[in-house]
Amino acid sequence: MSDRDRVGSIFPSSRWLAKCLTEVTLLPNEKAQDFRIIEIGPGTGTITQALLEQFNDIEVIERDIRFASFIESKFRNIMVHVGDAEDHLPNIVQKSSKPSIIVSCVPLRGNPDSYKILEVYQSLLQENKVRRIVQFTYGLRSPFPLINEKLIARRCRLVLFNCPPAFIWTLEVNPI
């Protein structure tokens, strides 16, 4: 497996993508202190830094030990879990006294293992253990191909100042 197969892009996320992801994480009537943020795939920490400017309860999950070590040394006040998100997410969410929001920076489209994390996302959302998933993707189509009628995916933003440009999506329980 090459490094390119382990990361979603050959360029780190831009500060504009990080800013937009942070902006869509909360709805206008929600307060940052009411949520735990779980970032998946923080990479070099651009998005982590933007999240820390708004939220104080953040944990990250990184599968690559090199990126995890880098994040631990750069952000000493957050918990870093090393491994696959589908293994760590249920436990992190379970021990939280606050509702969680997941900010996912891992590629879902074109990833043969994405069905595992998508199943965990769906389960956590339908059990009301996670309020929403915020995900960016480089493609036009939804990164959430396995959604059912109980969940709704929304395209929120297009971020042109990123290489490549990215779309931001959310996945939530359908209120209907």
Query: What topology does CATH give the domain 3-23+36-173?
Result: Rossmann fold (3.40.50)
Phi, psi of 53 (to 5 degrees): -75, -20
pLDDT at 10: 65
Cis peptide before 164 (omega within 30 of 0): yes
Taking the domains of the chain in order of start, what are their residue ranges? 3-23+36-173
pLDDT at 4: 45
Blockwise average pLDDT, block size 10, the chain, 176 residues: 48 90 95 97 95 96 96 95 96 94 89 87 94 94 83 95 95 89
Distance, in Å, from the CA atom of 52 to the CA atom of 54, rounded to the nearest integer, reads 5
pLDDT at 148: 80
List the alpha helices (DSSP H) in the chain. 3-6, 15-25, 46-52, 65-74, 85-95, 114-126
DSSP conformational letter for 43:
T
Task: Enter the pTM of the model.
Answer: 0.92
pLDDT at 114: 85
Closest to 171 in 3D by CA, of 158, 156, 153: 153
**Which are the contacts of 122, defined by CB distance < 8 A and separation ≥ 6?**
146, 147, 148, 151
pLDDT at 2: 40
Residues 80, 121: contact at Cβ < 8 Å? no
Strands 79-82 and 100-104, sheet pairing: unpaired
